[in-house]
Amino acid sequence: MMTRRGFLRFISGSLLSVASFSTYAVGIEPMLLTHVKRYALTPPNWPAGLRLRVVALADIHACRPWMSPERIAFLAEQANALQPDVIVLLGDYIAGMRLMAEPVAASEWASALSGLKAPLGVWSVLGNHDWWEDPVAQQAGAGPTVGGTALESFGIPVLENDVVRLEKDGHGLWLAGLADQMALLPGRDRSRVKGLDDLDGTMAKVTDTSPVILLAHEPDIFPKVSSRISLTLCGHTHGGQVRIFGYSPIVPSRFGNRYAYGHVVESGRNLIVSGGLGFSTLPVRFGVRPEILSIDLG
């Protein structure tokens, strides 16, 4: 039988544990030096002799104090130091969180990202919060968005259901960027969240047999991705923001933990989901540090 003193010790220890967890998850892990998560793979039918390093940044969610323009500029320096052939940005640059000291204007975070440099360029897609936090685009049901305009004004093209052909060491490759799958919130003319993505239309723009890398903010598109696409890169989930023993209690995906985080191979098709850099809804990270992806292909 537990004594009164024992009960009080138990309660005190529990409260201390909760306080310690909260302090770490809110104040420490989100601000840790960014982890570089490295992958190396050769997708099926990848051309022999094509060596490509892709560096990817996802889910910046710019806001003070956690993701200031100064920190974003530092992240750009870290990405450049990885000596990428190409850099890709996987969406959600805008905070999408009310619990913040101060928002960061699109011109500020886009200017910080303009420091990214790679021989084959820096390319981007938009995420759901880049649409949801833009009332004009929501009302119109279409772009341009404030975030997309800011990126392009600083020389970072936005691929929305579009492709670009690149070349390295005599080999061609395609980047295909998908418009957001959750772009438009329910409203007067919409009963549910509506996507603007068009995978078939995007792939119809690929005009030769060179490999394709698909950029899509949300990983839920992956079951529809054909083997024609060598690699799909996504963000959005933040690895669940809380990840314990490889499991995330809450994942913003209709597939739950299936596409929550990391390298997934299904039927020979490859997907990599970034744990991202910032957070949305709540400023909490535990077991999934902010990360930049460095992916060596071939």
- Under 8 Å between Cβ of 99 and 279: no
> Quick one: pLDDT at residue 3?
53
Domain covering 33-297 in this structure, CATH number: 3.60.21.10
> Quick one: pLDDT at residue 96?
83
In this predicted structure, the answer to whether residue 278 has a pLDDT above a threshold of 50 is: yes
pLDDT in tens, 141-191: 999 999 999 999 999 999 999 999 999 999 999 999 999 999 999 987 788
The answer to whether the bond into 219 is cis (omega within 30° of 0) is no
Higher per-residue pLDDT: 142 or 27: 142
pLDDT in tens, 69-86: 999 999 999 999 999 999
Secondary structure of the chain in the HEC alphabet? CCCHHHHHHHHHHHHHHHHHHHHHHHHHHHHCCCEEEEEEECCCCCCCCCCEEEEEECCCCEEECCECHHHHHHHHHHHHHCCCCEEEECCCCECCCCCCCEECCHHHHHHHHCCCCCCCCEEECCCHHHHHCCHHHHHHCCCCCHHHHHHHHCCCCECCCEEEEEEECCEEEEEEECCCCCCECCECCECCCECCCCHHHHHCCCCCCCCEEEECCCHHHHHHCCCCEEEEEECCCHHHCECECCECCCCCCCCHHHHCCEEEEECCEEEEECCCCCCCCCCCCECCCCEEEEEEEC
Instruction: Indicate the domain borders of the chain.
Output: 1-31, 33-297
Lowest mean pLDDT, pick from 10-19, 93-102, 217-226, 227-236: 10-19
pLDDT in tens, 194-251: 999 999 999 999 999 999 999 999 999 999 999 999 999 999 999 999 999 999 999 9
- Cα–Cα distances (Å) from 113 to 108, 123, 143, in that order, read 9, 11, 21
Dist. CA 129–CA 183, nearest whole Å:
8
> Quick one: pLDDT at residue 188?
74
